[in-house]
Amino acid sequence: MKRKAKSSLKNHLPSLLVFGQFSSLFLIIFSGPILASKGLVLVQLLSVVLGVWAIMVMHFNNFNITPTPVKGGVFRSGGPYHLIRHPMYSSLFLFVIPEVISDFSWIRLIGLFLMLFSLFHKMNYEEKQLKMQFLQYETYMIGTKRLIPFIY
């Protein structure tokens, strides 16, 4: 019985991670103003540009909201992927962190920590899947950072 429960959880893990990501995002967005205060809104605009750029480089037919690569997908390492492996996740962080700073509440801080938790688990899961699907992914990991160019 335990083996079946573990197998079931493993099968649903990608969806649970996406649920955690979006739940925390909605918690942050709907617990205060959607846009940050004056100067920090520029960081949010930068995050939108980064997110759109990442999606354009990835192409919609290669894009998957769950951390599982699309079957028959194409490996992409250009555009923002040249510097960081997860520019869409970086974009999310660049959008919500100014919100939490600009209009702080404990609810928003909890939402940020929940988002960090789910996205870091999502990144780990996704990278394992990408290494299995794309032989060059492990080499790509050596030359790029996860979220912040030249740092992490």
- Beta bridge partners, 84, equal 145
**Per DSSP, what are the bridge partners of residue 145?**
84
**pLDDT at site 97:** 96
- The whole-angstrom separation of Cα 101 and Cα 95 is 11
Q: Indicate whether 10 pLDDT > 80.
A: no
pLDDT band, very low/low/confident/very high, at 60 (cuts 50, 70, 90): confident
pLDDT for 85-99, tens place per residue? Answer: 999 999 999 999 999
| pLDDT at residue 48 in the model | 97
**pTM for the predicted model, two decimal places:** 0.89
